[in-house]
Amino acid sequence: MLVCPPPDVRAERVVERVVFEEFFDNSPELLAEEYDPYEPASVFLCVVDHRRLLPAGVMRLVVSSPCGFKSLDDITRVWNADVDDVIASSGSGLDQKRCWDVATFAITSDYRGAATEGLVSMGLYQALVMTARTCDVPWFVAVLDIAVLAAIDERMAHPFTRFPGLMPKPYLDSPASVPVFVDLDAYKPRLAALDDTMHDILFKGAGLEAALWTPDWAPATQAALPVPVPVESAQADSMTAAVRGSGRS
């Protein structure tokens, strides 16, 4: 597991800052301004290369709390739309009390693309779904760059749905991003019908064992993610998966 030093030097935040500066020219000051209000409800999923003792990728989740969700707050701030109206118009039935915000997703340069055959990103997606199901959370929201959204949809059989009426806009130096949501209960049978291998990876936690060690999800989730998160005492915690020391690390 990750050692948890003060927030300004924690490994997962270093990855987040470096990758967002590389791709979107986001400064540490900008990230702090954007994400500090959600720090009490932030939890990081992290894939660690234990052979090199380096973090390979991270995902920041904002769990349901009085802090709210950044992605939904930004629908109002950036898209100038009422969140309740947007959710209602989607016909999704999204319940914010059983929802998480996938606020950031970052893979370091050494672990992208052909370097790991997508292992690190798949490890993070698997961790996201397995922990959410452990906590009976069937909904995710996010704001995604449209190029990133297209890549995820192509590989994973379209897990995300765009909120109706919200067109792509510049967002945190992404030239075009859109608010999206995932309904896991609807996605699960659709994925099983289209790609049973991907279904087993995401929903059964099976298929990556040759290259990725994962925790026993239920106790690991309960240890890292109190549900509900008490805002007055919560700190951003981390859950890790370890890349095995092999040629695919």
CA distance 104 to 144: 9
Kindly give the pairing relationship between strand 139-145 and strand 99-107: parallel
- pLDDT at position 232 is 38
Structure tokens given for 210: 């040759």
Structure tokens given for 47: 């894939």
239 has pLDDT over 90? no
In the chain, the amino acid numbered 97 is K
Strand boundaries in 27-97, DSSP class E: 42-49, 54-63
95 has pLDDT over 70? yes
Q: How many CB atoms lie within 10 A of CB 51?
A: 12
89 has pLDDT over 90? yes
Mean pLDDT, to the nearest integer, of 216-243?
59
Structure tokens given for 142: 């996010």
Mean pLDDT, to the nearest integer, of 172-179?
91
CA distance 112 to 45: 17
Which residues, in sequence order, are CB contacts of 235 under 8 Å at separation 6+? Answer: 7, 40
Q: Domain spans of the chain?
A: 7-243
120 has pLDDT over 70? yes
Mean pLDDT, to the nearest integer, of 116-128?
87
Share of the chain above pLDDT 90, in %: 51
Tell which residue, 236, 47, 38, has the closest CA to residue 125: 47
Is residue 238 very low, low, confident or very high in pLDDT (cuts 50, 70, 90)?
low
Q: What is the CATH number of domain 7-243?
A: 3.40.630.30
205-210: long-range contacts at Cβ-Cβ below 8 A with a sequence spacing of 24 or more?
A: 205/126, 205/130, 208/119, 208/122, 208/123, 208/126, 210/244, 210/246
Structure tokens given for 122: 């798949």
Is 169 in contact with 176 (CB distance < 8 Å)? yes
Largest alpha-carbon pair distance within the chain? 49
CA distance 124 to 77: 28
Element (H, E) at 167: none
CA distance 249 to 246: 6
- pLDDT at position 248 is 32
Tell which residue, 152, 143, 126, has the closest CA to residue 221: 126
7 has pLDDT over 90? no
